[in-house]
Chain A
């Protein structure tokens, strides 16, 4: 008797309609077989530092440093599992490149949430898409901080970032968790989003979102807090990412608006396309000075860098969806091995005219995780690298670069055997032109069941990786990271 007929028999034997619907044999079958589900598998233990095996090519001379990445890696416990991809425990990975060799080490961030859930043997804490269960404790936002979205280097520490709470400070060598960072005692537990924007000078801007307000953080290149101010916005829109030019902060207010505080968090939002999308442009030099632009409704998680042109026009790219269905149901279904089947996000260019009129130009490129050359952050002439999503299958299969000044777009397809994660730019020492350097990123090889590190010449992406290396571990797909030069 095969699995399908066994399940059908179980339903027929009187398990009832509800049970039959729950035990949809096709769903269970898909879960057992879809190769991409390895990208959402649980990791039980930290990964000890180990040397990567070279598959082909050589690591370029001059590419020295570490690619730090973060993403959820523990979703399921015996008593209960999380209800959403975004609610797994953060695991920080350090891909270190030195002397022509590469190593991988990975460690879970030691959060209160992870401690409570480990001892409860159940995922009880509320999250973005997970309801609270008995045994949960929530006395402040950091009690449910999954520390799972990105990781940045600030001063001598690594900060594992989430969007609703404080940065979790880690030791950059051992990856040991030191505790939540307090930027100033009276600002303890204020949200610090997972998408800070670093100027070419090294100065760091970030925001923390709360209903129709944001705290705007400004940190020195060394990581000292220079300023924190509360800015009121026209609506309580969900803001995962913002962008910036050298002189402006840009908040895109999509019509997915918070109408009540609820658990799970995403259930308190409503899609109001009739309200359109608003873009608020704030002067960095005077946070009270702002302009508001109107765009058609769209949903997004991620924006590319912005730049201002001589006549005052501001442009930035974005990966946009027609609606928030991935945030509500799509990313939840992935955990049970179900592809949402919804449309993939598309790369788009937003233009904010000096005349106050805004324009949205959508490309046909299925794209996510846009990143840029940090030396051109907020300046004209930057380039974008993004992942390429396979329509119909969850997650990405390739990468592509885009030069909005009209340069030729380039792409590389890793094929369906890879789940491709965000790629970031690492400059060539002595170089100065945009994308003069390398793109460094990781994939999960589904056939080899192992995570891999790949390096591209950033200007020759279509040629494929100049070097590929393989780890001993298969780590689930992560969200964001940054390259820190050695």
Chain B
């Protein structure tokens, strides 16, 4: 009986550990709403720190999602729970770059997580940051 009992204990510990690992996994679905021009792509970048968001570090993920469908969303699996922020622009002409007019003002729509608004520049990390919890998360961004 003894080895069996031990085996059972080991199994249950393994199961617990597996559950704990799953609990630490998060996924984020970024959904776009209010889209007027159903063409081109939504070009998004996900950040997990203020420094990275402000251009002083690496992004966690970058994604491009076609903007021609009725539903426009991107699922980002395998994230750690924590605080994140997203910058996104609508690449209407599909050239992969955010269009700027000759005086440097964006000509393609852009947005931030939390639908945060900028003031003579991008929205701040504090305004755009949101919590990603273990399991599935959804962040809806209005753009266009």
Interface residues of A, Cβ cutoff 8 Å to B: 132, 136-141, 185-191, 210, 213, 215, 230, 263
Contacts and interface: CB of A to CB of B under 8 A. Distances in A.
B87 to A, nearest CB: 12
A230 B101 CA distance: 11
Given A190-B102, A213-B103, 16 more contacts: A137-B118, A138-B120, A140-B105, A140-B106, A185-B92, A185-B93, A185-B107, A187-B101, A187-B107, A188-B107, A189-B101, A189-B106, A189-B107, A190-B101, A210-B103, A215-B102
Contacts of A140: 105-106
Q: Which of B92, B101, B118 has the most CB of A within 10 A?
A: B101
B1 interface: no
A141 B105 contact: yes
Contacts of B107: 185-189
Interface string B79-99: 000000000000011000001
B142 interface: no
Interface string B104-122: 0111001000000111100
Contacts of B93: 185
A474 B107 CA distance: 40
A204 to B, nearest CB: 20
Contacts of A189: 101, 105-107
Contacts of B110: 139
B105 to A, nearest CB: 5
A185 B105 CA distance: 12
B86 to A, nearest CB: 16
Q: Which of B99, B110, B117 has the most CB of A within 10 A?
A: B117
Q: Which of A141, A186, A215, A230 has the most CB of B within 10 A?
A: A186
A132 B101 CA distance: 24
Nearest to B102: A230
A191 B104 CA distance: 12
Contacts of A191: 103
Contacts, number: 43
A457 B110 CA distance: 53
Given A185-B92, A185-B93, A186-B99, A138 B105 contact: no
Q: Which of B103, B107, B119 has the most CB of A within 10 A?
A: B103
Contacts of B103: 190-191, 210, 213, 215
5 contacts: A137-B118, A138-B118, A139-B110, A187-B101, A263-B120
A139 B99 contact: no
Given A185-B92, A185-B107, A138 B119 contact: yes
Contact of B101 (A136, A138, A139, A186): A186
A184 to B, nearest CB: 9
A136 B121 CA distance: 13
Contacts of A137: 117-119
Contacts of A186: 99, 101, 107
B102 A139 contact: no
A99 to B, nearest CB: 42
Contacts of A210: 103
A185 B109 CA distance: 12
B92 A139 contact: no
A189 B106 CA distance: 8
B119 A136 contact: yes
Across chains A and B, which 7 residue pairs bring their CB atoms closest together, nearest first?
A137-B117, A188-B107, A189-B105, A210-B103, A139-B118, A138-B120, A190-B101
Q: Which of A136, A139, A185, A188 has the most CB of B within 10 A?
A: A139
A51 B117 CA distance: 44
A132 B119 CA distance: 9
A133 B50 CA distance: 25
Contacts of B99: 185-186, 188
Contacts of B120: 138, 263
B90 to A, nearest CB: 12
Nearest to A132: B119
Contacts of B102: 187, 190, 215, 230
Q: Which of B93, B117, B118, B120 has the most CB of A within 10 A?
A: B120
A139 B107 CA distance: 11
Nearest to B111: A139
B21 to A, nearest CB: 41
A185 B107 CA distance: 7
Contacts of A263: 120
Contacts of B92: 185
A213 B103 CA distance: 9
